[in-house]
Amino acid sequence: MKVLVAGSGGQLGNSLVNQKTRGIEWFGFTRQEMDITSLCQISDKVNLIRPDLIINCSAYTAVDLAESRHDQAWRVNCDGVTHLAEIARQWDIPFIHISTDYVFDGFKSESYLETDQPSPLNFYGKSKLAGEQAALDAFNKVLILRTSWVFSEQDGNFFTTMLKLGLTKQHLKVVDDQKAGPTPVKLLSSIILQLLSLYQQQSTLPWGLYHYCGEPFVNRFEFVEFLMNDMLNKGMLHSLPELEAVDSSIFPTPAARPENSCLNTGKLKALLGRLDNDWRPEVQQLLAIKAHQLTSSELEGKYETL
Ligand SMILES: NC(=O)c1ccc[n+]([C@@H]2O[C@H](COP(=O)([O-])OP(=O)(O)OC[C@H]3O[C@@H](n4cnc5c(N)ncnc54)[C@H](OP(=O)(O)O)[C@@H]3O)[C@@H](O)[C@H]2O)c1
């Protein structure tokens, strides 16, 4: 099965196209190779490859910048997704798209179901929600997977940021009023592979919206506590930094974030039978690799190479 992946330079896209899976031939394209804001570029690639399935891992993910760059965020997260879905419809190629927990405002006290009404607090969430709706309107073979707090060893996510801070700071303030499911990219990729396998077996999928994220749900402070304790256990720290739980108001950001964006994964669990989504072993594994990479002199206090 030939699978075209848009956004293969990002955390998820890169992880997916590096999966060695029998029966799947990946055709990954970075933004430079296929810009989804260009209908022609997508059309050319699809015409050339004739994929059996298209997965969109590309997105404008700079949540704070999106507040001042509405056009850029909209062109990728809404217009680009519309292009992909339109072309998927023209060629009758099933389309898997990734979306976000930030479509919700966070005022619900329990975890969010697929049937809950989205109401994004920030522009990134608005543009992603518009992309979801455009894809579902354009074509009837679209599966959207909403996820949250995606992390990997690739720089630029909450895990790698806090890892660096843990190695360099004695005192850390971390917000405790944002709660969700941290999602290791490795587990997210493997869920997508399970969906592909189901598609191969059945030649179809129950299309529509699904939620997938890591569990247990934690606030950012609890996530950092887990991370720092494991760093200490692995000898990456001489002592735990002093951790202070604070409100988000201490770190004002251009984009507001939901207090609760925990996603209920029951629908996907019912589809796949079981769901592998404990993020804690994945944090431990990533830290074990990082601890191994750090030389002893770096552990003495020079961490610039991280
Ligand atoms: N990261 C999270 O915490 C998180 C949380 C919830 C949902 N999600 C969703 O999960 C999906 C994967 O996220 P990720 O963490 O893998 O994001 P990522 O690492 O930021 O990767 C996104 C990729 O999209 C590419 N891209 C941007 N504009 C593009 C365009 N016009 N055409 C083609 N490619 C373009 C980027 O390329 P450049 O770097 O060259 O711009 C980047 O390689 C996204 O849909 C995101 O919205 C992520």
Residue 247: band (very low, low, confident or very high) from pLDDT cuts 50, 70, 90? very high
- Give the residue, out of 31, 83, 192, 261, with the most ligand 1 atoms within 8 A of its beta carbon, to mutate for a pocket test: 31
Say what the pLDDT of residue 296 is.
58
**φ, ψ of residue 304 in degrees (nearest 5):** -55, -25
How much is the mean pLDDT over the chain? 95
**Residue (of 192, 199, 213) closest to 97 by Cα position:** 192
Q: How far is the CA of 91 from the centre of ligand 1 (A)?
A: 24
According to the model, what pLDDT value does residue 74 have? 98
pLDDT at 27 exceeding the cut of 90: yes
pLDDT tens digits for 90-101? 999 999 999 999
DSSP-derived pairing of the beta strands 218-219 and 142-147? unpaired
**CB distance 100 to ligand 1 below 6 Å:** yes
Tell which atom from ligand 1 comes closest to the C-alpha of 98: 45
Q: Taking a C-beta distance cutoff of 8 angstroms, is the pair 173, 246 a contact?
A: yes
Q: Residue 289's CB: how many other CB atoms inside 10 A?
A: 9
Average pLDDT of span 83-108: 98
Cα 30 → chain centroid: 16
pLDDT value of residue 292: 85
pLDDT for residue 298 is more than 70: no
pLDDT confidence band for 299 (50 / 70 / 90): low
Q: How confident is the model at residue 305 (pLDDT cuts 50, 70, 90)?
A: very low
**So where are the chain's domains?**
2-152+182-215+261-277
What's the alpha-carbon Rg for the chain, to the nearest Å? Answer: 20
Mean local confidence (pLDDT), 16-38: 96
Ligand 1 atom nearest the C-alpha of 15 is 16
pLDDT score of 295: 62
Question: How many CB atoms are closer than 10 A to CB 250?
Answer: 11
Residue 67 has pLDDT above 60, yes or no: yes
Diameter over CA atoms, the chain = 59
Confidence at residue 107, expressed as pLDDT on a 0 to 100 scale: 98
CA atoms of 245 and 171, how far apart (whole Å): 11
From the list 227, 234, 225, 217, the residue with the least C-alpha distance to 278 is 217
Confidence of residue 304 (pLDDT cuts 50, 70, 90): very low
Confidence of residue 114 (pLDDT cuts 50, 70, 90): very high
Asked if pLDDT for residue 88 goes beyond 60, the answer is yes
User: Residue 44: helix, strand or coil by DSSP?
Assistant: helix
Q: Show Cβ contacts of residue 274 under 8 Å, excluding neighbours closer than 6 positions.
A: none
Cβ of 147 less than 6 Å from ligand 1: yes
Is 125's C-beta closer than 6 angstroms to any atom of ligand 1?
no
Through-space distance between the first and last CA atoms of the chain, rounded to whole angstroms = 37
Contact 158, 220 (CB under 8 A): yes
From 102, 112, 124, 212, active-site residue: 124
Residue 303 has pLDDT above 70, yes or no: no
Residue 301 alpha carbon to ligand 1 centre in Å: 33
Q: Measured in angstroms, how far is the CA atom of residue 161 from the centroid of ligand 1?
A: 17
Q: Name the residue at shortest CA distance from atom 38 of ligand 1.
A: 31
pLDDT bracket for residue 284 (50, 70, 90): very high
pLDDT, residue 293, reads: 84
Rounded distance from Cα 132 to ligand 1 centre (Å): 15
CATH architecture of 2-152+182-215+261-277: 3-Layer(aba) Sandwich (3.40)
Q: Is 245 helix (H, G, I), strand (E, B) or coil?
A: strand
pLDDT, one tens digit per residue, over 122-160 is: 999 999 999 999 999 999 999 999 999 999 999 989 999
Q: What percent of the chain is modeled with pLDDT above 90?
A: 92
210 belongs to the catalytic site: no
For residues 292 and 70, which has the higher predicted lDDT (pLDDT)? Answer: 70
Indicate whether residue 79 lines ligand 1 (CB < 6 A): no
Q: Is 184 in the pocket of ligand 1 (CB under 6 A)?
A: no
pLDDT score of 271 more than 90 = yes
Quote the CA–CA distance of 58 and 64 in Å, as a whole number.
17
pLDDT tens column, 171-214: 999 999 999 999 999 999 999 999 999 999 999 999 999 999 99
